[in-house]
Structure 1
Amino acid sequence: MTSYKDVLVTKEQHEIILKDITPSNALYIKSGPGTGKTLTLVLKIAYMINELEVDPSEILVLSMTNKAVDNLKDNLDGLIADDKKEQLNINTFHAFCHDLVTAFYGDEVDILQDEGLRILVQLFDNKKVNDKYKVAKFIRMFKDNVDHELIRAEFDLTQEEINSMINIFSDMKLSTYSDLLKRGKTIIQSLVKEEKLNFRVVVVDEFQDMYNDLFQIIKAALGPNSHLIFAGDTNQSIYKFLDTKVPSKIEDLGKTFDVLEMSESFRSTDEILSASKYLLGKEINVFSNHYGLKPTINNFNSDLDQYEFIIKEIKKLQSYNVPLHDIAVLSRTNYELTKIARLLKMYRLDFIKLSSSPNWLQNDNFIYLIDYLKILLNPYQANFSILCTLKLMPMVGPKTLRQVYEESVQRNIDIWGYLSRSKDPKLKIYYNLMQQTRKSIDFEDPKDVLQKLLKISNELGLVKKFGRIDSFQKSNITEQYIEFYSSLKTFYENPSRVSETSSMIESFLKNFMSLSQQEYSSKIKLSTIHQSKGLEFPIVFMTDFNLELDDEQEKNLRYVGMTRPKTLLYLNSIGNNVDLDKDEELKKRFTIAGSPNLSKAFQNRVVRSLHTWRKIFH
């Protein structure tokens, strides 16, 4: 087993690793982009367990994304014993609360997804709350205990209409992510008070992106003898829509704060860091001992010109033996990535759109496979899943769905029981096929599970729904089915993912949202800047670049994008001509391409720089 002493670290990292964990103190780790935050945290955890003999079950580590959690777990391999690693609590906030809620109440939590909102629109049958956005807002207001008078005023509803919609939502036993966090907080508070939950150390990764619901989880988990460690970079706070003002509340936790900073970046060249500081408009304490090319600003007259430049440049880099997997294209929006993806496909350049969850979950229709599985496993507890999948059948519309729901409520029976007695031909087809499949499916064989799901999808309308999407999306469906099967197999091939009280399929249904995307070693990476956070790539093309930004979080967002590349950064803008001669600082930090085609000499420097990077880092 590797000791933390065997890993080469900087003086700053070494100080953080050995810092005491006094309960009355909190440690704030200021970590700029690429400064080795993940490595430092895992070495700190290993040091606490191996040297300070902290019980691993008394360490809680929470992060924002599945990818960050997986990175922490993977990097702990070989640093602590496997049995101790199993005892560690390393989770996303939502997964941590999900586990608590299901363990505490015994019921599976059914989180309301996008397709579910559309079903609620049909069940609500209200002209004033008649799209998924209004439904989502209505649910958020009543879940936040907003006074009904305010809800009435917002939607022009009667009290009877409000009560009816609340009853429907409650009957479906649905939860929102906000519900999950609030219920989790209540359980944590109770367990801490009863001394059944006692975390000696609480570690929070990417703290700058916490919003209030997440902050309340941390606050609840901190007992009187808990030491708090939180790591992050306020310059990378990018979730404006979540109102992330929480970092300022950290000081209200009654801890004495020690601040330690990591300033040496092992990712980007000093030229890239210098340019990113210029964008922020302030000199921050991050530097690199690796040098290369200044970022290049390329201006275009149209999106198409920009995308064609990206294609040509990728092909040039390919001709200099730069592998596709070294290249990433970052954008602010998924919409723009879709346009770029279509062009890449046209030029037969392999790509993958990055996500924090499995690729098949990027297709909203695949959530119906989860609904089918819930029904096959236990139809008596799957009322909402039944309604969602019934909607896929031909000739089943809102009127039928409302009738099924209302009559099952009147008879005080579950929807599966209602279907078993129904004489409606459409409903009988659905019930008979699902019941036959329930009797024949082998839940111990993932191949049989997939085959049964494919049969159901074909006969109950899901395949026809796939047929209504455009050809670009259709081309990905086979690959997404394969990835779905791969996710399913994960729980059969890795018993450690399955709890002692759950079957393979139950564990899959509980945990599929926390699975990470598969690695793709030979493809161009497409990602929103938000999604790219915490990742790194040798070469980055960044679209929609603008130096003249007033909004702080927009600057932070571009800063995150600019600090993803290790070696080469292309900054593309539309209609924003930049004159280097007007600003000496700008001239020092950026290069303006004279035309969309880089000179041969410049390309040679790029390739030499990449080869140098590989020697340094590998």
Structure 2
Amino acid sequence: MVLTTSQRKILEFPYKPASTLKVVAGPGSGKTVTLLHKVHHLVETGQVRPDEILILSLTNKAVDNIIEKLLSVFEESNDENKYTAYELQEIVGQIHVNTIHGLANRIVIENEGLVSIIEENGWRGLMKLLSQDLWKNKHSKLMTPRELQKMFNEYKLGNTRKNEVMERLMKIMKDCQIFTNDDLIYNAPKYLEHPTDRIDYLEGQCFTRALMDEFKVVLVDEFQDLFPSVLPLLEKIAANKQLILFGDSNQSIYNFLGDNRTVMDRLDKLHTAENFTVFHLYDNFRSTPEIISVASKIMRYKVDLNELAKRDLVLKGPSGVYPEVQEISDPVEELEALVEKICLIVCSGAALSDVAVLARTNAHVQIIAEHLRFYGIPFRKLTAQPDWISDSRIQFLISILRTAILVRRGIFEESDPLAAKRSDFSVIVTLSAIKGVGNQAIQSLFRICNEKNISLWHYITEVPKNEWPSAVSNRKKIETYITMISHLMEDSHLVEIEDPLQLLTKISKAAYSLDFAPMVIKGERELHDFKSNLHEMFRVIKICSLNKPPGSSLAEWFLESYVEQGAIQHHQDIQYQSGGLGAVNLSTIHSSKGLEFPIVFLIGGLTHFPIDQNLLYVGMTRARNLLYLNNIKHTGILSNLIARENGSALLNDRFWNYYNQDLKRPILYSAADSVKRYQKIQKKYGFNFIGKRTITTWNYKNAISLFKRLIR
């Protein structure tokens, strides 16, 4: 691959310990390509070994993208077949690529053993432990697990007065090794400073020590996403190493996590001023000049395109089509207009998979998804994590497995006095989920266990039931629960099961023997969703069976890694899922960052709140060729675009030739054929009938049939 002048400067910048190289790279500037080639150059020139390089990002999506493309860069640069395919895979496999949370998780697990990351079912279980006193003046009947999580996080930050109940929750979570994602970030640097004795007994290389002593280069992708709580971890890792930062402050959209400027000020000063260098990438391989021109008008730091044109830069030629603005006050008509535009551009020769619809919230994305589904238009959601992980039934299955593993550990690991009590949280989560086991029962059992300093499992299995607190009324349900967990622990030696299907079958049978209300499926749609999510869980268990470390059990490795492995699998599915014209991509603007699409619909919704400037900039710069702005509340957009007219896309042969050439596709555009296809749809659904809500007269089966014919 031929790199630009500015990219070559970054590649050739030498390795130097205790130094910082900052690369400011705008959207579409070839940032990821430059990062990958920089890694290759460091290895190929012998400046560092591949196992001395660490690449970090905040999202699984970005990490997955780097992992997938890294091998391709090494293969393309393998001049005169210097290395065999196997040798290249070995080299690339030694380079460490992690999310920052994944890195923190690995450090914590290495020092603490199996830990649990709390999810919605966990917060719901914790709510059962809380007395009504906590909810005074807080409308307890409306309290949700998410609200408890928010209250807990605020308490940990010291934003509220000392509270006995919250203190007790913190102790429960500490004793049971329950972590929030923030806890992982907070604890990891402490273990780097003071590792636990546990790492002395690890087989093979100790990652905690290697991270501090053996790595030489740390590359951080998307530095504008960093937030203050990751600073101690990054500073600890990058000290005395070469820190290479890639990003763009104009794309900083996570300010609700903390001020990114504070982070960058500290990282810029991590090493001495003479060892701090900044390069810029101004090239743009993605967006048309028309899109760049409009996007630059809403940036905090304006870009003069005329000035850039004088430099030695790579820019695309003009398309002749500017972004379009539309304001529609009726929410149904807004959705109708979206469907009409999608039909129009597909009839003109675009694929459905070329199209991305970006909204501000997940709730708005869901509304759009339902509207497309009603038409029979295929779509896929580009969520940060797969849907199956968020399914309450799947979470219950995972909680059942975790309970069995931790209870078993508590029984057999007598040398660890805390091992028995570490199962308390999982027992609370699973037991409290059973219909009929009320809050008072959970609170009474947990209170007496604390008084006796024994685990909850030990109490309900060893203490005669006639000695239990009177508040524990539904004892038969608890007896069934004990039998089920005991059977799961003993049957086929749970930790020895190596077959993914056998493991999932055991967990599912155990869960279905309990009276967990969500396990009662209502309706075909719910059944379809659960079967699909269960299949995805099975796929991840299969992946775990193939990559688990030697000596680890499948059940334990799945519990340790399912979140990260599930996310990687999810993003691979999104990338490779295609057929015919594919499917429309649906996403929040936040989740779309780092991606690009030929055609983007940016949907502002009917909220009166103006869109954040950086968020708008990120959304606009996802587009390569066509950009539609619907109900976007921003003065820069309205004043610069409202008067622009592009004419009918169906008849714009110049643009569609440009479009196909840009995407390296055959130029087969025919205005006559496009008009015929669109007229067929227009006649079917009555598009352009102003004010007419055709949603009430849609025929779902006919819509699906029509789009199948279009795909052909």
TM (norm. structure 2) is 0.75
Describe the shift of the 1:456–1:325 C-alpha distance in structure 2 as closer, same or farther (beyond 3 A): farther
Post-superposition CA distance 1:445-501 (Å, at most 9, x none)? 111222233323333244x315588986665332222222222212224x3xx2234
Measured in 1, the distance between the counterparts of 2:636 and 2:53 equals 50
Given candidates 264, 274, 281, the residue that maps to 1:247 is: 264
Describe the shift of the 1:512–1:591 C-alpha distance in structure 2 as closer, same or farther (beyond 3 A): farther
Describe the shift of the 1:268–1:469 C-alpha distance in structure 2 as closer, same or farther (beyond 3 A): farther
Provide the residue aligned with 2:131 in structure 1.
125
Give how far 1:57 is off. Answer: 2.7
Q: Which moved more, 1:323-332 or 1:251-260?
A: 251-260
Provide the residue aligned with 1:37 in structure 2.
31
Q: What SS class does the counterpart of residue 276 from structure 1 fall into?
A: helix
The one-letter code of the counterpart of 1:429 is T
Provide the residue aligned with 1:188 in structure 2.
192
Give how far 1:309 is off. Answer: 1.2
**1:530·1:557 contact (CA, 8 Å) conserved in 2?**
yes
Q: Which moved more, 1:450-459 or 1:14-23?
A: 450-459
Measured in 2, the distance between the counterparts of 1:453 and 1:38 equals 41
Provide the residue aligned with 1:418 in structure 2.
459
Q: What SS class does the counterpart of residue 350 from structure 2 fall into?
A: coil
Give how far 1:196 is off. Answer: 5.3
Post-superposition CA distance 1:181-230 (Å, at most 9, x none)? 12111122347999953431111111111111112211111233x11100
Q: What SS class does the counterpart of residue 128 from structure 1 fall into?
A: helix
Q: What SS class does the counterpart of residue 127 from structure 2 fall into?
A: helix
Provide the residue aligned with 2:253 in structure 1.
238
Describe the shift of the 1:204–1:599 C-alpha distance in structure 2 as closer, same or farther (beyond 3 A): closer
The one-letter code of the counterpart of 2:339 is I
Measured in 2, the distance between the counterparts of 1:356 and 1:550 equals 24
Q: What SS class does the counterpart of residue 152 from structure 2 fall into?
A: helix
Describe the shift of the 1:227–1:351 C-alpha distance in structure 2 as closer, same or farther (beyond 3 A): same
Map 1:329-368; keep pairs closer than 5 Å.
329-368=357-396
Provide the residue aligned with 1:209 in structure 2.
225
Provide the residue aligned with 1:259 in structure 2.
278
**2:253·2:615 contact (CA, 8 Å) conserved in 1?**
yes
Q: Which moved more, 1:391-400 or 1:357-366?
A: 357-366
Residue 332 of structure 2 is aligned to residue 284 of structure 1 = no
Post-superposition CA distance 1:520-565 (Å, at most 9, x none)? 323221100000000111211110179x9988xx111011000112
Q: What SS class does the counterpart of residue 595 from structure 2 fall into?
A: coil
The one-letter code of the counterpart of 2:266 is K
Provide the residue aligned with 1:375 in structure 2.
403
Segments of 5+ residues of structure 2 without an aligned counterpart are 75-86, 196-207, 309-313, 411-421, 466-474, 668-712
Give how far 1:31 is off. Answer: 0.8
The one-letter code of the counterpart of 1:563 is T
Post-superposition CA distance 1:402-458 (Å, at most 9, x none)? 233223333433233334346421011112123223314673111122223332333
Describe the shift of the 1:378–1:606 C-alpha distance in structure 2 as closer, same or farther (beyond 3 A): farther
* Alignment RMSD (CA, Å): 3.2
Provide the residue aligned with 1:3 in structure 2.
none
Measured in 2, the distance between the counterparts of 1:25 and 1:295 equals 42
**1:300·1:574 contact (CA, 8 Å) conserved in 2?**
no
Given candidates 480, 491, 494, the residue that maps to 1:429 is: 480
Q: What SS class does the counterpart of residue 383 from structure 2 fall into?
A: coil
Measured in 2, the distance between the counterparts of 1:561 and 1:472 equals 32
Give how far 1:103 is off. Answer: 0.9
The one-letter code of the counterpart of 2:35 is L
Provide the residue aligned with 2:657 in structure 1.
608
Provide the residue aligned with 1:151 in structure 2.
161
Provide the residue aligned with 2:41 in structure 1.
47
The one-letter code of the counterpart of 1:232 is G
Q: What SS class does the counterpart of residue 236 from structure 2 fall into?
A: helix
The one-letter code of the counterpart of 2:388 is W
Q: What SS class does the counterpart of residue 295 from structure 2 fall into?
A: helix
Give how far 1:178 is off. Answer: 1.9
Measured in 2, the distance between the counterparts of 1:608 and 1:374 equals 56
Q: What SS class does the counterpart of residue 54 from structure 1 fall into?
A: coil
Measured in 1, the distance between the counterparts of 2:391 and 2:615 equals 26
Q: Which moved more, 1:570-579 or 1:228-237?
A: 570-579
Given candidates 499, 506, 514, the residue that maps to 2:556 is: 506
Provide the residue aligned with 1:4 in structure 2.
none
Provide the residue aligned with 1:99 in structure 2.
106
**2:126·2:429 contact (CA, 8 Å) conserved in 1?**
no
Post-superposition CA distance 1:373-407 (Å, at most 9, x none)? 21233324432222212223221121222233223
Structure having the higher Rg: 2
The one-letter code of the counterpart of 1:210 is L
Paired-residue identity, %: 28
**1:272·1:562 contact (CA, 8 Å) conserved in 2?**
yes
Measured in 1, the distance between the counterparts of 2:426 and 2:318 equals 55
Residue 450 of structure 2 is aligned to residue 409 of structure 1 = yes
Q: What SS class does the counterpart of residue 460 from structure 1 fall into?
A: coil
**1:73·1:90 contact (CA, 8 Å) conserved in 2?**
yes
Describe the shift of the 1:135–1:447 C-alpha distance in structure 2 as closer, same or farther (beyond 3 A): same
**1:301·1:575 contact (CA, 8 Å) conserved in 2?**
no
Given candidates 480, 496, 503, the residue that maps to 2:533 is: 480
The one-letter code of the counterpart of 1:179 is D
Measured in 2, the distance between the counterparts of 1:557 and 1:471 equals 38
Describe the shift of the 1:194–1:349 C-alpha distance in structure 2 as closer, same or farther (beyond 3 A): closer
**2:500·2:538 contact (CA, 8 Å) conserved in 1?**
yes
The one-letter code of the counterpart of 1:121 is M
Post-superposition CA distance 1:314-366 (Å, at most 9, x none)? 22333334322221110011111111111111112221211222231243443
Describe the shift of the 1:281–1:181 C-alpha distance in structure 2 as closer, same or farther (beyond 3 A): closer
**1:540·1:570 contact (CA, 8 Å) conserved in 2?**
yes
**1:297·1:592 contact (CA, 8 Å) conserved in 2?**
no
The one-letter code of the counterpart of 2:220 is V
Give how far 1:573 is off. Answer: 0.9
Provide the residue aligned with 1:273 in structure 2.
292
Measured in 2, the distance between the counterparts of 1:101 and 1:280 equals 40
Given candidates 341, 347, 352, the residue that maps to 1:313 is: 341
Q: Which moved more, 1:91-100 or 1:283-292?
A: 283-292
Describe the shift of the 1:482–1:391 C-alpha distance in structure 2 as closer, same or farther (beyond 3 A): same
Post-superposition CA distance 1:140-190 (Å, at most 9, x none)? 35544x49xx523xxxx5xx5555444444344322222211211112234
Given candidates 619, 626, 631, the residue that maps to 1:573 is: 631
TM (norm. structure 1) is 0.86
Measured in 2, the distance between the counterparts of 1:177 and 1:430 equals 30
Map 1:389-468; keep pairs closer than 5 Å.
389-421=430-462, 423=465, 424-438=475-489, 439-440=491-492, 443-462=497-516, 464-465=517-518, 467=520
Measured in 2, the distance between the counterparts of 1:137 and 1:586 equals 40
